Amino acid sequence: MESSDKADCLSSRVSRAILKQLTTALEMASVDQLAHPMLRIEAFVQDGDGRQDGGGMAGNPPSHVHIMTTKSIKSARPKEDKPPKLARVQGRRGNGDGPEITIVDSAYSKTTPETETACEDIPDTDRSSHRRSLGALRLRAKPDTSLVSAFESQRRMQVGEHNFPKRAKTQADIAATPDKSSFDKFITGIWEHIHGGVHLEPQSLVEQLQLTATGAAHALTDNDDPRLLNPHGVQGPTAPLSSVCLNAAADNPELFRSSNVFCRKVTQASRTCRSIEVIIQAHWVEQFDSYVEFLAATNTSMPLGKCRKAALMRACRDFEWSEKELRNKMAVWRGYKQIKDAAGWATLVFAGMGLYRLCKYRTDFSAKSMDRLRALRRRIEVAADTLHPRWRQLLALVGEAPERRFTGHAHDWVTFLDGSDPVTLRSTYVSHDPNFSFQHIDESIIDGRAWVAEDPRWIPPPSAALSLESANTCYCFPSLFGGPRPPCPVRVFRTSDGRNNGLQALVSFERGAAIGEFVGLVTRGLENLDVMESAAVKHRPYQIWQGHQGNFTRFVNHSCKPNAQYQHFVWLGIQRVLLISKGIEAGTEITVDYSESYWRGLDKRCLCGESCCRYSGEGALRMQEQVRREESDQGRQSRELDNRAFPGLKRRPPDINIRSSIKQKN
Ligand SMILES: C[S@@+](CC[C@H](N)C(=O)[O-])C[C@H]1O[C@@H](n2cnc3c(N)ncnc32)[C@H](O)[C@@H]1O
């Protein structure tokens, strides 16, 4: 008899014996009392060294047989009573050297007890079906492919050696998965946060309001009374939250004002908290690294990897996070540290929400990007120190010096595009003007000696009514004149081509946007100096001079292909000269066309470097010659005067003249 047949017989005998024992033990007259009786036997046969395969143990390959049978032990039933079929799985394990493992499940037997008992007498032709119906014990040399194919159309789960059980994605699954909308993500986010690691503790909020808002938020603003944060006078960290908030209706100006200030303070405080969060997290990564170094130094036999693991495990316990969670967070925090290393703490403190995304997805952490950040470092620090004088107080939390490095006005510093240390504005002028001084102003100052008590920029109402300039319809006006002007995102920088300083746009300005107003001393009669010439009323020209007073427009250079222009507008009856973008990319220099009347007869050459440059080299000389010829034309001279008086009406860009009255040498 073949070994497989022997196993079948063995299976039958064992089944019968167990069945007999079971019916006695369970005091059953017959298994027919059971609705779906099944018998399942599992047996192992292996070498006596106690090893099993698959465990990665060294030594001889295991020589064992693993036999499982799930056997129906009840006679055939009517079709409608059949229990649902179980999955039939047939698999093989082993490397071919030793006996194989065969697993066969048989759900429902059509065999009768008689056929089971007479196994030796079964004709060869019936044996395969007999074996299958028994789902019997067997040793199998090859898998029975007939079994596999018989169930190919059924749902099958597989457990691979290393895979977690999963159902393969079908093409239909992929096609049916729509992109999640932002709203769906928002809802999912709520569930994730409610069930996730968010800790909202109102009492700690009170502490934050008191400690952070009065300390750190106050650090970011100069002039507000921190007591306004707490209009109800919270005395200590244990005060209830209700005593902090404003719960009365704002039905009088004072309460409304308190509410405004309170809301602003809390908003600033949460912004400050975000800054604190990122610098602490970047700093924690530094501390983690130094703790790993400490472990490596004190345990010389411990490999660095193990030191890291030990530090991580220690941190996981203190954070009360899983290793996976901490590792994920740490990857982001390490990004913060890298950015801090390249561009300094100010970059982290003033980074927006983009910082998290950048560090989580590491979208652009190339060496080139880091070099760009390094070159920005000093420019960011100048802006941070001068516009937020107390921001460095936050650095006390990470053991850094809180003293600011760059004092004064933001434009008292000249920065370098290559990232070199900034220099003072004064130092860039003293070589040609030892008495150089510059006062930063937001509004023009009327030169009393030139204009006594009147403002030459004033436009009388009848004339204003006729003028297009009086319409005040430009959308730029609210941004420039509708409230406090925020500092303009521009920076004075040192040019590398002999034009001394220039003005750089830190953000992009869309075409038509007002960048700022040309302000300075409103005077008249100046000669041999760079001035803006204008006139609100015909035959009453005035000059705006930025020699000692002005704003950032003072540093706008000329280009023959400019990306901005000066334009007249009238605001509340006063003519203004605005610097308007023609479409400016972030990081580029802001330039205007000073106009022909500026360069005419000037013993300077234009250094704009544009291929269309009109005032340099041969072209410039030809232009100057032509200008000389034109100047002899008296009629043209008077037309020019008109144009200067009403540039907004009669001339389009360049419509304002910066005029240098330096006399022509000949
Ligand atoms: C209004 S200021 C501009 C800022 C100036 N570069 C500075 O450092 O103060 C005008 C002066 O800048 C210089 N300048 C501006 N544009 C120039 C250009 N395209 N070529 C040469 N010099 C230029 C000239 O010296 C001019 O007198």
Phi, psi angles (nearest 5°) of residue 219: -65, -30
Return the best residue to mutate from 529, 531, 546, 557 for the ligand 1 pocket (most ligand atoms within 8 A of CB): 557
Q: Which amino acid is at 599?
A: W
pLDDT value for 229: 39
What's the rounded Cα separation, in Å, for the pair 551 and 27?
A: 104
Helix or strand holding residue 67 (H, E) = strand 65-72
What's the rounded Cα separation, in Å, for the pair 101 and 54?
A: 12
Return the best residue to mutate from 437, 438, 500, 543 for the ligand 1 pocket (most ligand atoms within 8 A of CB): 500
pLDDT over threshold 50, residue 64: no
pLDDT (tens digit, 9 = 90+) per residue, 489-510? Answer: 999 999 999 999 999 999 999 9
In a 3-state reduction of DSSP, which class is residue 623? Answer: helix
- Rounded average pLDDT over 343-353: 94
pLDDT band with cut points at 50, 70 and 90 for residue 126? very low
* CA-wise closest residue to 552 among 425, 422, 652, 381: 425
Q: Which atom of ligand 1 is nearest to the CA of 556?
A: 3
Three-class HEC string of 196-263: CCCCCCHHHHHHHHHHHHHHHHHHHCCCCCHHHHCCCCCCCCCCCHHHCCCCCCCCCHHHHHHHHHHH
pLDDT over threshold 70, residue 414: yes
Q: Which amino acid is at 3?
A: S
Query: Residue for token digits 């049916």?
Result: 176
Query: Residue for token digits 């995102």?
Result: 489
2-6, 469-473, 627-631, 662-666: segment of lowest average pLDDT: 662-666
CA of 647 to the centre of ligand 1 (A): 22
Phi, psi angles (nearest 5°) of residue 226: -60, -20
20-24, 109-113, 198-202, 552-556: segment of lowest average pLDDT: 109-113
pLDDT band with cut points at 50, 70 and 90 for residue 575? very high
* CA-wise closest residue to 445 among 565, 548, 572, 514: 548
pLDDT value for 253: 84
In a 3-state reduction of DSSP, which class is residue 533? Answer: strand
Measured by CA distance, the residue closest to atom 22 of ligand 1 is: 499
Contacts 24+ apart (CB under 8 A), 573-577: 573/458, 573/459, 573/461, 573/464, 574/455, 574/457, 574/458, 574/459, 575/457, 575/458, 575/459, 575/469, 575/534, 575/536, 576/457, 576/517, 576/518, 577/517, 577/518, 577/532, 577/534, 577/544, 577/656
Helix or strand holding residue 42 (H, E) = strand 38-45
- Rounded average pLDDT over 73-78: 42
Pull the structure tokens for residue 499.
């034009």
pLDDT band with cut points at 50, 70 and 90 for residue 627? low
Pull the structure tokens for residue 188.
């999912």
* CA-wise closest residue to 329 among 319, 317, 338, 343: 319
pLDDT value for 635: 45
**Alpha-carbon Rg for the chain in angstroms:** 43
pLDDT over threshold 80, residue 333: yes
Residues within 6 Å of ligand 1 by CB: 499-502, 530, 554-555, 557-558, 604, 606-608
Return the best residue to mutate from 492, 495, 499, 605 for the ligand 1 pocket (most ligand atoms within 8 A of CB): 499
Higher pLDDT residue, 78 or 551? 551
What is the 8-class DSSP label of residue 11? H
Cis link prior to 37 (omega < 30° from 0)? no
Q: Which atom of ligand 1 is nearest to the CA of 554?
A: 1
pLDDT value for 434: 94
Q: What percent of the chain has pLDDT over 90?
A: 43
53-57, 244-248, 263-267, 453-457: segment of lowest average pLDDT: 53-57
CA of 591 to the centre of ligand 1 (A): 10
Measured by CA distance, the residue closest to atom 2 of ligand 1 is: 555
Three-class HEC string of 361-425: HCCCCCHHHHHHHHHHHHHHHHHHHHHCCCHHHHHHHHCCCCCCCCCCCHHHEEECCCCCCCEEC
pLDDT over threshold 60, residue 589: yes
pLDDT value for 474: 62
CA of 558 to the centre of ligand 1 (A): 7
CA of 626 to the centre of ligand 1 (A): 23
In a 3-state reduction of DSSP, which class is residue 531? Answer: strand
How confident is the prediction for the chain on average, in pLDDT? 73
Measured by CA distance, the residue closest to atom 7 of ligand 1 is: 501
**Helix, strand, coil fractions of the chain, as percent rounded to 5:** 45, 15, 45
pLDDT band with cut points at 50, 70 and 90 for residue 262? confident
pLDDT band with cut points at 50, 70 and 90 for residue 603? confident
Do residues 554 and 546 make contact, with C-beta atoms less than 8 angstroms apart?
Answer: yes
| Residues written for the chain | 666
pLDDT value for 167: 67
Measured by CA distance, the residue closest to atom 23 of ligand 1 is: 499
140-144, 170-174, 186-190, 402-406: segment of lowest average pLDDT: 140-144
Higher pLDDT residue, 318 or 92? 318
pLDDT over threshold 80, residue 207: no
What's the rounded Cα separation, in Å, for the pair 58 and 53?
A: 10
pLDDT value for 250: 67
pLDDT value for 256: 83
pLDDT value for 327: 97
pLDDT value for 106: 34
Pull the structure tokens for residue 424.
């003072």
pLDDT value for 355: 94
Q: Which atom of ligand 1 is nearest to the CA of 608?
A: 19
What homologous superfamily does CATH list for 428-660?
SET domain (2.170.270.10)
CA of 607 to the centre of ligand 1 (A): 9
pLDDT over threshold 60, residue 98: no
Q: Which residues contact 512 (CB under 8 A, 6 or more apart)?
A: 476, 580, 581
Return the best residue to mutate from 436, 558, 563, 605 for the ligand 1 pocket (most ligand atoms within 8 A of CB): 558
pLDDT band with cut points at 50, 70 and 90 for residue 3? low
pLDDT band with cut points at 50, 70 and 90 for residue 176? low
- Rounded average pLDDT over 234-257: 62
pLDDT band with cut points at 50, 70 and 90 for residue 302? very high
Domain boundaries in the chain?
3-50+59-150, 206-398, 428-660
pLDDT band with cut points at 50, 70 and 90 for residue 289? very high
pLDDT over threshold 50, residue 573: yes
Strongest mean pLDDT among 47-51, 119-123, 329-333: 329-333
Do residues 504 and 587 make contact, with C-beta atoms less than 8 angstroms apart?
Answer: yes
pLDDT value for 82: 41
* CA-wise closest residue to 355 among 365, 417, 284, 395: 365
pLDDT band with cut points at 50, 70 and 90 for residue 451? very high
pLDDT (tens digit, 9 = 90+) per residue, 517-548? Answer: 999 999 999 998 999 999 998 889 999 999 99
Strongest mean pLDDT among 41-55, 267-281, 464-478, 618-632: 267-281
